Amino acid sequence: MMIAPVGGAKHRLLPSCSTIALLAALALPVQAQAAGTRAGSTISNTASASFDTGAGSTTVDSNRVDLLVDELLDVTVDSSNPAEVPTTPGATGQVLTFSVTNNGNGVEAFGLTTIANAGGDNYDPVITQIYLDNGDGLFDFGTDTLYAAGANDPSLDPDQGITVFVLATTPGTVVDGNRGIVSLVAAAKTGTGTPGTSFVGEGEGGGDAVVGSTGADGEDAGTFLVSAATVTLVKSAVITNTLNTADPIPGATITYTIVATVAGSGSVSGLAITDDIPADTSYVPASIKLGGSALSDAADADAGDYNGTRINVALGTVAGGQTRTVTFQTMID
């Protein structure tokens, strides 16, 4: 068992008078989490000895040993996102959520930075802002505080935590399934370094500040997952005529089939298929169908319409992995 020093900057000895000077030294373990004893507290101890000189029992006390508790610098950062956060190409204001906790035993301010280009992912999110939560755990532009490094670094009591939101833009060049990783780093403003590094006199209450097991600069990562969709169109034509052949002769009917396929893990909205009636043909009235169901030519409650030059079918929102089939007919003039 090592004997804790009683002199020097770390532990200050404040002697008191007694008849016999006996030194009682206590070994104080360094803990990775807030130990409960506040930095700047004084731990006092006095030893006693009893003996018999033949004239009766006698007790004497040692001098008192006072130890000033140093500040332990420790912090953890944890991603609060339950899973990969979905995003889409070109999306702005995408939010990752983190918690920052002071695991030290004194009040400490923490500087916040982000890392978005560490590798191991498919793209680098563009970090735009960091916000400090107002206490409800939900991001809100109007009530949460925009973080400015050095101006409003969060100051936390021992064991106190704060929720931090990192906002990013997703590049428009990403594709479905791409992942972008962002790390949040919180570093003690007093100092960071190898565990055990001491900053003399910088601790709360006048003691030293000692770097704990986290290096006083915690870090954790959150991940964006691109959920995108692409649309492909395949068009085909079948000819029928009164000769019962497949020849495109005057008077033959052309049945056009257009298949829209949506691929990817996302969805598309406002999908619509439009096709101009080819020259030298005439539209066959009431021939528009969606998935085999007839649609009217008028611009009414159903999805299709014909305006005299083209057909249009509104498909709305379609998720990846689904198809939509539209057919219509024209007659060769």
Report whether pLDDT(6) > 80.
no
Map tokens 């009414």 to a residue.
300
Record the pTM. Answer: 0.74
Judged against a pLDDT cut of 50, whether residue 23 lies above it is answered with: no
Nearest to 61, CA basis, from 105, 24, 115, 96 = 24
Mean local confidence (pLDDT), 205-227: 96
Residue 26: is its pLDDT beyond 60? no
Proportion of the chain above pLDDT 70, given as a percent: 89
DSSP element (H, E) containing 156 = strand 155-156
Kindly list the distances between the CA atom of residue 22 and the CA atoms of 3, 8, 17, 64, in Å, as whole numbers in the listed order: 14, 19, 11, 9
What pLDDT was estimated at residue 34?
52
- The pLDDT tens digits of the residues spanning 125-182 come to 999 999 999 999 999 999 999 999 999 999 999 999 999 999 999 999 999 999 999 9
Mean pLDDT of 285-311: 96
Which residues does 211 contact at the CB level (< 8 Å), separation at least 6? 73, 188, 191, 192, 193, 194, 195, 196, 197, 198
Question: For 123, which DSSP code?
Answer: B
| CATH 2.60.40.2430 domain extents, the chain | 229-332
pLDDT at 14: 37
pLDDT digits (tens, 9 = 90+) for 233-279: 999 999 999 999 999 999 999 999 999 999 999 999 999 999 999 99
**CATH fold of 73-226, please?**
Immunoglobulin-like (2.60.40)
Residue 155: the pLDDT is 97
Amino acid residing at 131: Y
CATH number of the domain located at residue range(s) 229-332 in this protein: 2.60.40.2430
